Each structure stands twice: as C-alpha cells, then as structure tokens.
C-alpha cells in the first residue's frame, strides 16, 4: 500500500486521490455487509433444503 501511495505522490496528482487510498473507514461496513449476505444465503439454502421435510412432518402431526 505504501508503494502504491508513493507511486501516486507525483507532481500534479491531486491530494484527494491520496486521501481516498489511505481512508479505510468504509471497509468495515462493506465487510459486515458481505458477512450478513453470506449468512442470509446460508439460511435460505438450509430452508430450501429441509423445508419440504419440515412441512411433511407438520402435516403428519396435524393428522394425528
């Protein structure tokens, strides 16, 4: 990362680009968003896999 910043720090390069590359505030939010989406996909997959079995089990209990 430091090499990238030193390569960018050339005459004529705006300081905004350098500040953008050094800023890591949004990275945590993005990581949490990715984790939440993976958990959601896993939950949907589990429900899709065992949903029919649970439905059949509940129908059989209702008949008793």
Q: Identify the band that residue 45 occupies on the pLDDT scale cut at 50, 70 and 90.
A: very high
Choose between 9 and 41: higher pLDDT. Answer: 41
CB 1 within 8 A of CB 18: no
Provide the pLDDT for residue 62.
72
pTM over 0.75: no
| Structural domain range at position 50 | 2-63
Q: Are the C-beta atoms of residues 2 and 19 closer than 8 Å to each other? A: no
Tell me how far apart the alpha carbons of residues 6 and 17 are, in angstroms, rounded to a whole number. 12
Which segments of the chain are extended strands (E)? Answer: none
- Structural domain count, the chain: 1
- pLDDT confidence of residue 41: 98
Q: State pLDDT tens for residues 25-41.
A: 777 888 999 999 999 99
Nearest 10 degrees: CA dihedral of 38, 43, 44, 49?
Answer: 130
């Amino acid at each position: 990362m430091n090499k990238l910043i030193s390569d960018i720090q050339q005459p004529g390069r705006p300081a905004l680009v350098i500040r953008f590359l050094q800023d890591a505030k949004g990275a945590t939010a993005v990581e949490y968003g990715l984790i939440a989406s993976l958990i959601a996909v896993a939950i949907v997959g589990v429900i899709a896999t065992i949903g029919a079995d649970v439905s059949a089990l509940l129908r059989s209990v209702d008949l008793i």
